[in-house]
Structure 1
Amino acid sequence: MSKLAKTSSFSQKHPVWTVVIIEVLLLLAVSAAGTYATIKELSYTAPVLISFIPIALVLIIYFTVKNKWSDLGFRPLNTISSGKWIYYAPLAAVLITISFKGFREISTSEVLFFIFFTLLVAFVEESIYRGFIFKTLLTKGAKTAVITSSILFSITHLLNALSGTDITQILLQLVYSLLIGFVLSLLMLKNNNILPLILFHFVHNLIQFVGNDNTSEYMGIDLFILLVLAVYCLWLALSFRKPNITKNLNQSS
């Protein structure tokens, strides 16, 4: 027993403190990058690039050196049984719906930049929230892992939205990111595969960046998506019938 205790990592011994440290460090990194970008009058994408590129490199090195890729859900897509792919169908519906807003005219170089930018964001955020934070909190129970990781994901996006002045858009962003967080966390709990989540996150953000900027004109579409996500969360939550879901998830890892 003493040998096992000695070999336990900090995250295993102190899961809550681990999550707090990860979230604080992420917020500090983004805030510092935002301050620097403001002083230097850089573009609105600069804070994310300045903070997320080093974070992505650290994550890749850590996952490789510690052999954490599989533990955090980076698995072949064929590990998801054919019967469980149906749970991802509403994600496709969300992507199609937000595409109805249309797209603005941008250059090829801008498209390539946004592909890199959104893929970077998707990898970092999913690795942190549905990877590190979610998996760390599973020791406290599945409900704790899903709820806490989703709330922290929403808080991070809320801070980004606070730069605006429209309270309606801020509240919409809060609810939207919270529901997205719940959906992706529940899918992680169900299938223990982070790749479809990164793909959705990437395509979702890419559509938003190259889409029309006038969000107020498409408020009806946004509200419809919120309704879809709320029903989606309920459907996923009700799909968990076995009380030993966390045990099954850990056994498959």
Structure 2
Amino acid sequence: MKNFLYRHGLVLFLVVIIGRGLIGMFAVKGIQSINPALTIEKDLGWLIMLIYATCVILVVKWVKIDKEIGLTKPSSLKDWYVWLPTLIIPITLAFYLGFNSTLGHIPLLLIAAVGVAVNEEILFRGILLRAILPFGEAVAVIIPSLLFGIAHLGNIFVGGDLTYGLFQFGWTFFAGMALTAMVLANKSLLPAIAFHFVLDAVEYGATGAYGVHSTEFSIQWLSIFLLLNLAFFLYSLYLLKKSKTNQHQIKFAATPTK
């Protein structure tokens, strides 16, 4: 079974998606059977994300693809520094939304942010990227990111605002492509996980919700955030192209002359 999942990355991706979903659903239903007043949006989001993150980590460790998908430290500090310009996104988010959470709620919001970052990066920029990369780099950048965006449309069906959900699909698609390109350039998932955590921690702290927002946001703000993620995508393409050029130059310099 382990060898089969190792060889068939798309099957592994589906197994993890379905398996962690079922485990999370049964956990929530069990808790809600005791206290029906608890909701995913306000109360149980952190638990679901913790379950999801635990599931994906255990699976990649069991199948032994953790290092293969980039769960290793970047080769140099430069691979961290290139992410600094992307912090304009959470900074803008914090400036616009402010902070609207109670101190007692912060630990749960941070747990949720860690869970989301670990879960989504390992799934989409790890397991799925590894499975699709043999079909070409362009396909590997686009397809997992499209699925990443579609996955966020599910928030609409658990209490999220429709307009927010549609814009969220757009920016998660662009952000997904950006993160994929950055992972390909860095050959490590850790900076992507760190950036994803910071972004979600700011969002959750600003709204007091676990990524599912029933509150309406202005079209202007949603559009700005969409454009920021588009800029992130263009920046990531530049870095990916630059990394490939550097690799080519290193390979050329290492080629012995006759």
Fold shared by both chains (TM-score > 0.5): yes
Q: Would the alpha carbon gap of residues 61 and 101 (structure 1) be closer, same or farther in structure 2, given more than 3 Å must change?
A: same
Corresponding residue for residue 232 of structure 1: 232
Corresponding residue for residue 221 of structure 1: 221
Equivalent of residue 86 in structure 2, options 88, 91, 97:
91
Cα displacement string for residues 161-216 of structure 1 (whole angstroms, at most 9, x for unaligned residues): 34457542222111011111111111111111111111111111111112147964
1:22 to partner: Cα distance: 3.9
Corresponding residue for residue 44 of structure 1: 40
Is 1:122 equivalent to 2:117 in the alignment? yes
Equivalent AA in structure 1 for residue 167 of structure 2: L
Is 1:71 equivalent to 2:71 in the alignment? no
Q: List alignment gaps of at least 5 residues for structure 2.
A: 249-258
Q: Would the alpha carbon gap of residues 170 and 36 (structure 1) be closer, same or farther in structure 2, given more than 3 Å must change?
A: farther
1:66 to partner: Cα distance: 4.7
CA contact (8 A) 1:11 1:136 kept: no
Corresponding residue for residue 255 of structure 2: none
Q: Would the alpha carbon gap of residues 136 and 229 (structure 1) be closer, same or farther in structure 2, given more than 3 Å must change?
A: same
Deviates more, 1:89-98 or 1:228-237: 228-237
Equivalent AA in structure 2 for residue 57 of structure 1: T
Q: Would the alpha carbon gap of residues 10 and 47 (structure 1) be closer, same or farther in structure 2, given more than 3 Å must change?
A: farther
1:131 to partner: Cα distance: 1.2
Q: List alignment gaps of at least 5 residues for structure 1.
A: 1-7, 249-253
Corresponding residue for residue 4 of structure 2: 10
Is 1:140 equivalent to 2:135 in the alignment? yes
Identity of counterpart residues, as a percentage?
22
Give TM-score, length-normalised by structure 1: 0.76
CA distance in 2, matches of 1:129, 1:21: 13
Deviates more, 1:149-158 or 1:103-112: 103-112
Residue-pair matches, total? 239
1:229 to partner: Cα distance: 1.7
Deviates more, 1:211-220 or 1:115-124: 211-220
CA distance in 1, matches of 2:110, 2:15: 30
Equivalent of residue 151 in structure 1, options 116, 139, 146:
146
Cα displacement string for residues 127-161 of structure 1 (whole angstroms, at most 9, x for unaligned residues): 11111111121122222221121111111111113
SS of residue paired to 2:96: coil
Cα displacement string for residues 81-137 of structure 1 (whole angstroms, at most 9, x for unaligned residues): 62x555423321101110112434433221111111211121111111111111121
CA distance in 1, matches of 2:69, 2:183: 10
SS of residue paired to 2:55: helix
Cα displacement string for residues 48-72 of structure 1 (whole angstroms, at most 9, x for unaligned residues): 4554434433333344455433222
Corresponding residue for residue 111 of structure 1: 106
Equivalent of residue 195 in structure 1, options 190, 198, 216:
190
CA distance in 1, matches of 2:153, 2:244: 33
Corresponding residue for residue 131 of structure 1: 126
Q: Would the alpha carbon gap of residues 159 and 228 (structure 1) be closer, same or farther in structure 2, given more than 3 Å must change?
A: same
Give TM-score, length-normalised by structure 2: 0.75
Q: Would the alpha carbon gap of residues 18 and 116 (structure 1) be closer, same or farther in structure 2, given more than 3 Å must change?
A: closer
Deviates more, 1:52-61 or 1:103-112: 52-61
